[in-house]
Amino acid sequence: MTHDELWHRSCEAVVKFVKTNERRPSKYYAEERSMHNWLKYNHKLARRNALSPARLERFAELERLLATYRRTNQYRYLSFEE
């Protein structure tokens, strides 16, 4: 199995996890930790422009999906200015 196949398999695993659980992988659960670390590492590579264009495009799609499940602060106060 080539590195590209492994990368795409990991990407599909993260997408499947996010769609079924409706949340991002957590660093606190051992079974999710590898996906969390994969996301962190690829995010770092994307910021350095070290990913290939095909991977960068696919990772950008994944990050758009993850943005819908970003954690929000439940104690954030709303502004009452009108």
| Distance between CA atoms of residues 33 and 2, nearest Å | 23
In angstroms, how far is the first alpha carbon of the chain from the final one?
A: 59
Q: In which residue are the tokens 């095909």 written?
A: 54
Considering the entire predicted model, what is its pTM? 0.83
Phi-psi map region of 49: left, alpha, beta (phi>0 left; psi -120 to 50 alpha): left
Rg (CA), the chain: 15
Q: Residues 17-68: pLDDT tens digits?
A: 999 999 999 999 999 999 999 999 999 999 999 999 999 999 999 999 999 9
**DSSP 3-state of 15:** helix
